[in-house]
């Protein structure tokens, strides 16, 4: 029986499964070599007294109280985003009171108060507790609320 063979360029391409293209034995041996190298490096470190030179050896671990995120920010000398927003709002309120005292037009004061109240709403969403929320300001309560913002 004679088979009808097509030239290679006319034969259909059949994709192979990914498992056939990956040599898992080679990958596993490479990972084993890496793990062996890491184990040797650690053993050498311990044999040379590396663990004895660590700062705080024998002292109890100090676990910071409260939120982990807060302690990370404190160590990095950063503040929470909502606290920075609160500080910006306080300075905006001070500017609005100053402009009201100078007799700025009502449209300008109303625009400032709308912007301040929008930012207060953003801060209230970000603040972690209801006790840290602040009420919106208007022309009547802005001076008395300024003391609460400091």
Total number of domains constituting the chain: 2
Cα separation, 115 vs 118, in Å, equals 5
The verdict on 144 and 91 lying in the same domain is: yes
pLDDT at 128: 84
Residue 62 lies in a domain: no
The verdict on 83 and 135 lying in the same domain is: yes
pLDDT at 111: 93
Residue 45 lies in a domain: yes
Residue 12 lies in a domain: no
Q: What is the pTM assigned to this prediction?
A: 0.52
Domain containing residue 88: 79-149
Q: Residue 21: pLDDT band by 50, 70, 90 thresholds?
A: low
The verdict on 84 and 144 lying in the same domain is: yes
pLDDT, mean of residues 77-105:
89
pLDDT at 2: 57
pLDDT at 51: 79
Cα separation, 119 vs 113, in Å, equals 10
Look over the chain and give the mean of its residue pLDDT values, rounded to a whole number: 83
Cα separation, 24 vs 33, in Å, equals 14
């Amino acid at each position: 029986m004679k088979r009808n063979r097509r030239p290679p360029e006319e034969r259909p391409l059949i994709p192979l499964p990914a498992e056939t293209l990956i040599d898992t034995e080679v990958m596993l041996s490479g990972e084993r070599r890496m793990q062996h190298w890491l184990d040797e490096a650690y053993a050498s470190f311990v044999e040379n007294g590396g663990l004895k030179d660590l700062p705080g050896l024998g002292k109890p671990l100090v676990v910071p109280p409260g939120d982990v995120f807060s302690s990370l920010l404190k160590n990095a000398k950063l503040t929470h985003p909502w606290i920075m927003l609160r500080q910006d709002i306080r300075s905006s309120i001070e500017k609005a009171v100053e402009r009201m005292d100078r007799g700025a037009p009502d449209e300008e004061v109303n625009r400032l108060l709308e912007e301040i109240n929008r930012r207060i709403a953003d801060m209230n969403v970000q603040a972690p507790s209801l006790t840290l929320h602040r009420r919106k300001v208007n022309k009547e309560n802005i001076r008395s609320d300024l003391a609460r913002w400091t």
